[in-house]
Structure 1
Amino acid sequence: MKNLFKKLDKIATDIPASEIMVKDIKTINETETAQKAVELMSKHSVSGLIVQDTTGKTIGIVSEGDLLKKVFLKKKSPAKVRISEIMTRGLETIPPEKSIGETALMMKRLGISRLPVVKNKEILGMVTKSDLLEELNEIYRQNRRLLWVAAVITLQFIIIAVLVAMLISK
């Protein structure tokens, strides 16, 4: 089993973030309301939106967590709270070639759940913890299947060897 996790670790360092990122990124203007953010997240089944200023420049991100902590738990009206008041500024990003292993470590270190994938100041996509977990689970599942197939082949080889030995000894 330790071998399997070593293999998973190696595979995780070989897969770039660009292979698992969501490419259809949803944005919201900083002047919009928290209510609009909730509507967009619900409509598009996403947990975060890239925030842009009035010129279209990316200036941050707003997440479900931001909405919960800064609006709903404080019992503020979502229709009255502007995105600029609750968004996270200073957006952390990753290049498309960063491995999913490095991406996961960065998320853990920074305590964040999503990272935009950026090349030449252009957002190409977004990687979330859910994306990482799905990919790592798929890798693990495929490797377990391969280990099972290897075990079955080994068993078949042993059975054939025993049968051949029995036939030879007769």
Structure 2
Amino acid sequence: MRAADVMTPDPVCISPDTSIIDAARLMLERKFSGLPVVDAGGRLVGIVTEGDLLRRTETGTQPKRARWIEFLMGSGRLATEYAQTRGRKVSDVMTPEVQRVTEDALLEEVVHLMGRHQINRVLVVRDGKLVGIVTRANLLHALASVAAETKPGPTSDTSIRERLYAELKAQPWAPVGLINVVVRNGVVHLSGTLLDERHRGAIRVAAERIPGVKAVEDRLVWVDPVSGMVVPAFEQTTAPPGKAS
């Protein structure tokens, strides 16, 4: 999927000359945590978020530091901070470096930007002009819609076993040669040896996501590769979400 497939088109935005008070009111009224900032020609110039409005002299939350720290910071940074904590317009507090993508960007790129920069939204532009916004909520809606449209595949015990082995063989962490899989009436029975206890949960997830699986019965035994200590299997049966075990 691409950004254009999930984005909110024509998002609400504000001008750099908008007052900070008006921006805060709009964010509260519309329940937005951030607003794109565009110039008179519709070109994206920045974004203002709740975080940009946290440090303000009006609320007494502006940064307060010792003189020697301010000296080390330098006059330029102090001047920028002064404008951000006392400015009256959005242009004084907004973040000009905005993470943006085009409409053809893959969702993989969008998620990468969100994770790398610890942000909740990525703006979508066309020829420099804002055309949409992709938020984490948009991605969740996309996930839900894809899950709802997923059609069940083959559900025979043989096909389930083949699909599980194929999935595990494609994963570099999976101890395929140490585990056994038996499927009866849609129930996946796991047995064998694990050298890392964390593999247990991942193998269970791989099994539960296969269409037709009714439950997973875990009899895997964990062996500590350092001490050689064997931890007997704690038999556990789980069912995929939405199914009874």
Aligned-pair CA distance for 1:40? 1.7
Cα 1:56–1:24 change in 2 (3 A) is: closer
**Is the 1:70–1:86 contact (alpha carbons within 8 Å) kept by the matching residues of 2?**
no
Asked if 1:84 is matched to 2:91, the reply is yes
Tell me which of 119, 123, 129 is aligned to 2:130: 123
Tell me which of 150, 153, 156 is aligned to 1:154: 156
* Paired residue type of 1:142: A
State TM-score, norm by structure 1.
Answer: 0.64
Q: Which runs of 5+ in 1 are unaligned?
A: 1-14, 160-170
**Aligned partner of residue 134 in structure 1, secondary structure:** helix
Aligned-pair CA distance for 1:124? 1.2
**Aligned partner of residue 81 in structure 1, secondary structure:** coil
* Paired residue type of 1:119: R
| Structure 2 counterpart of 1:136 | 143
Cα 1:70–1:133 change in 2 (3 A) is: farther
Out of 38-47 and 99-108, give the one that drifted further: 38-47
Aligned-pair CA distance for 1:125? 0.4
Distance 1:73 1:54 in 2: 33
Cα 1:34–1:42 change in 2 (3 A) is: same
Cα 1:53–1:74 change in 2 (3 A) is: farther
Cα 1:40–1:135 change in 2 (3 A) is: same
Aligned-pair CA distance for 1:41? 2.1
Aligned-pair CA distance for 1:38? 1.9
Distance 1:65 1:131 in 2: 21
Out of 54-63 and 107-116, give the one that drifted further: 54-63
* Paired residue type of 1:113: N
Asked if 1:19 is matched to 2:5, the reply is yes
Greater relative CO (CA pairs within 8 A, separation 6+): 1
Q: Matched residues, percent identical?
A: 27
| Structure 2 counterpart of 1:112 | 119
**Is the 2:16–2:91 contact (alpha carbons within 8 Å) kept by the matching residues of 1?**
yes
| Structure 1 counterpart of 2:61 | 74
| Structure 1 counterpart of 2:231 | none
Higher-Rg member (1/2): 2
Out of 15-24 and 104-113, give the one that drifted further: 104-113
Per-residue deviation, residues 70-89 of structure 1 (Å, max 9, x unmatched): 576727xx997321221101
- Give aligned pairs, total: 137
Per-residue deviation, residues 51-99 of structure 1 (Å, max 9, x unmatched): 1346654310111232235576727xx9973212211012221011111
The structure carrying a bigger helix percent of its residues is 1
Distance 1:79 1:36 in 2: 15
Asked if 1:37 is matched to 2:23, the reply is yes
The structure carrying a bigger strand percent of its residues is 2
**Is the 1:35–1:79 contact (alpha carbons within 8 Å) kept by the matching residues of 2?**
no
